[in-house]
Structure 1
Amino acid sequence: MMWSLIFFLLCVSECRGQISVTQSPSTTAAQPGETVKINCRTSRDVTPCVSWYLQKPGETPKLLIYYISTLQSGTPSRFSGSGSVTDFTLTISGVQTEDAGHYYCQSSGTKTSVSQSHSD
């Protein structure tokens, strides 16, 4: 527990500043069971302060992954995060229809996030 708190504080202090975030592709379509990869590139090294969110219509964004690859409680295991320095990837292995929505890559400590849609 103490390690998590210290790590978070270090992350916040390390991740301040202006960072631009871009995602690709901007939109993707997939059939149930396929693997979907969403890429995120930052303008400078933000390791380990990258989070992924999913927003469904009429709902607030839901945290899926933080610290690049740590699954938030309740996030299905088909979601995974990877990457380092400036290039990061969200992978959905065996995508399901309920995974449709807008995905956000965010570098903690900034207000920058870019949305990407994915639908089946």
Structure 2
Amino acid sequence: MDVKAPAQLLGLLLLRLPGASCEIQMTQSPSSLSASPGDRVTITCRASQNVNTWLAWFQQKPGKVPKLLIYRAFTLQTGVPLWFSGSGSGTDFTLTIGSLEPEDAATYYCRQHNSGIHSELTRDKNLYNLQ
């Protein structure tokens, strides 16, 4: 039996930098996909301007708060399975799921975070009730 694990993606996310006069636009592709368990899945995120490596990836399941997967473009959050990985810098970033598991079916999205990583991620953790 072929069990599909759809990974729905937010195609466009506009974020405002604290103190910035313009918005950084984050564009993801593909906008949606279907994959099977065991598949390698790659999601890309492009920033409208250079964000260095200040890029985080989140996973959100229906009815749940977003879960931080990766920050600083490639640093895995504690407790996140090792089949998740991130790469990139500047404007182009990639989230890779090395071998898709059924429980990985979710919405995935990227967001830019500023260089004040401790305060920024602490605020994210409080907002999303992350551990």
TM-score of the aligned structures, taking structure 2 as reference length = 0.70
Aligned length, in residue pairs: 95
Aligned equivalent of 1:77: 82
Aligned pairs for 1:55-66 (under 5 A) are 55-66=60-71
Root-mean-square deviation (CA, aligned residues, Å) is 1.1
| Deviations, residues 69-102 of structure 1 (Å, cap 9, x unaligned) | 0000010000000011100000000010100010
Identity %: 53
Read off the aligned partner of 2:45 and give its amino acid letter: C
Kindly state the Cα deviation for residue 46 of structure 1 after the two structures are TM-superposed: 0.4
**Counterpart pick for 1:96 among 82, 101, 116:** 101
**Counterpart pick for 1:107 among 105, 109, 112:** 112
Q: Report the secondary structure of 1:98's partner residue.
A: helix
Moved over 3 A (4+): none
Aligned equivalent of 1:24: 29
**Counterpart pick for 1:35 among 27, 40, 49:** 40
Give structure 1 stretches of 5+ with no counterpart: 1-14, 110-120
Kindly state the Cα deviation for residue 47 of structure 1 after the two structures are TM-superposed: 1.2
| Deviations, residues 3-50 of structure 1 (Å, cap 9, x unaligned) | xxxxxxxxxxxx653211100001011111110000000001101110
Distance (Å, rounded) in 1 between the aligned partners of 2:39 and 2:49 = 31
The structure whose RCO (Cα within 8 Å, separation 6+) is larger is: 1
